[in-house]
Homo-oligomer: A and B are copies of this chain.
Amino acid sequence: MKYSNATNYALHTMVYLIHLPQGNTVGVQELAKIQKLSPTYLSKILTKLTKAGLIESTPGVKGGYKISRFQNEVTFYDVIKAIEGDTNLFDCSIHHEGCLIEETMRQAEENMKKELQAKLLIDIVKKAEAERSVETNQ
């Protein structure tokens, strides 16, 4: 479970797309401007999200990106996996039989993974909205 900047951009974009009114699409030009990235670079990241089925893309006039139908089930880990692939932080290529170092490291990494598989993107979006509404009522 590596973790690079690209994943962070992906998370930001996902959160942004979840906020979009149902059915609306937004192009890579605008998304790139928001995050101050070059459109072509962000485009590669978005393509990975598309291939993973997390977002949908339509080329052409009035095209762009929108969140896929399954937005309520998307976890943090889904996004990370879409960008980084299914890798391990600990990567010993030798694999001695019954190696306890490897077992320990994998176990620890698994704990992190479990946590990220349990966290839905929609949860933090709702939580942020709730906090904003409290502020407004004060």
Contacts and interface: CB of A to CB of B under 8 A. Distances in A.
A108 B98 contact: no
B89 A15 contact: no
A12 to B, nearest CB: 7
Interface residues of A, number: 28
A108 B112 contact: yes
Give the interface SS of chain A, mostly helix, strand, loop or mixed.
helix
Interface stretch (A38-46, A63-71, A123-131): A123-131
A101 interface: yes
Contact of A105 (B76, B105, B107, B111): B76
Interface of A: 3, 8, 11-12, 15, 76, 89-90, 92, 98, 100-101, 104-105, 107-109, 111-116, 119, 124, 127-128, 131
